[in-house]
Structure 1
């Protein structure tokens, strides 16, 4: 199973492909300083394989590289950061993970 992730900046989303098929997406709003992740979905055929976590890690790493902070409006992104606070907690716009 070939997995590929990419940042589709024009559509304000991160995409994970399995082969040539879109398997998961994470959408966001962006300002100069932050990304608000509001929707992450793994399509039914690909659920239960950890692909949303792979995509979220890629999106958060890209956000860090861009020098931005995160507002985790999406429950999945929020829980992912809460579970991985050592690595991603510093991306939050406040000290509270539920901000």
Structure 2
């Protein structure tokens, strides 16, 4: 399972994790001015339990940071990932950070 590739697919408005030649997981987004609004993350059933969603979201959030954007985590998985990984909290707008603090 080392044949993993993660990339933005802007045509489909989603980040995709491919295992071999198959899309194993994806996270959909909408582009807004200065932000990516993450709406849905899914791992296909044959690939569940391998940590692919976490790898995918880490990559997506790193890409958001590189592009100088904010992340709007409407997707519950993305929101939960940010709660568990506060190193990404700076990607959420200052007004929204309270929702991520315990």
What TM-score bracket applies, with the shorter chain setting the length? over 0.9
1:95 match: 97
- Structure 1: which 5+ runs fail to align? none
Residues 18-48 of structure 1 deviation map (CA, whole Å, 9 limit, x = unaligned): 0001000000011120011000000000001
Q: CA RMSD in A?
A: 1.0
Size of the alignment, in residue pairs?
Answer: 97
Q: Which runs of 5+ in 2 are unaligned?
A: none
TM-score, normalized by length of structure 2? 0.91
Q: Which runs of 4+ in 1 moved over 2 A?
A: none
Distance 2:73 2:46 in 1: 25
Corresponding position of 1:23: 24
User: What is the DSSP-based 3-state SS (H/G/I as helix, E as strand, rest coil) of the residue aligned with 1:40?
Assistant: strand
For residue 72 of structure 2, give the secondary structure of its aligned residue in structure 1: strand
Superposition deviation, residue 71 in structure 1: 0.8
